[in-house]
Amino acid sequence: MAIRIPRISQARKILKRSLSNGSTTPASMDIPKGYFAIYVGEQEKKRFVVSVSLLSEPTFQELLHPAEEEFGYNHPMGGLTIPCSEDVFTDLASRLGAF
């Protein structure tokens, strides 16, 4: 578990930077405080807005590892990108109450 802490803190720093960069694009305006945008999908990415509490969940952290390997945390779409099926993500997020 201690190995994943730096990854999570790095992701939080990037999210803080992307949310505090002063951008007022329509995509960033519809994200309430305490939530962030995440892009999910293997081919075509779908955008979800989920609670930041999801970042501390061990099962979500398991999804972050392949995302870090494939995309890193500084993705040009402005949010985290998870390379898994939408079904897997929505099932996990609904069980964790992230929506």
Please tell me the total count of domains within the chain.
Answer: 1
Domain that holds residue 45: 35-96
Give dist(CA 79, CA 27) in Å, integer.
Answer: 11
The more confident residue out of 71 and 48 is 48
Residue 89 lies in a domain: yes
Residue 8 lies in a domain: no
Q: What is the mean pLDDT of residues 4-14?
A: 54
**Taking the CB of residue 65, how many other CB atoms lie within 10 A of it?**
12
Give dist(CA 28, CA 39) in Å, integer.
Answer: 13
**pLDDT one-digit tens code per residue, 51-67:** 998 889 999 888 888 88
pTM for this entry: 0.64
Helix (H, G, I), strand (E, B) or coil at 16: helix
The more confident residue out of 49 and 18 is 49
Q: Structure tokens of 67? A: 């995302």
Residue 5 lies in a domain: no
What pLDDT, on the 0 to 100 scale, is given for residue 28? 54
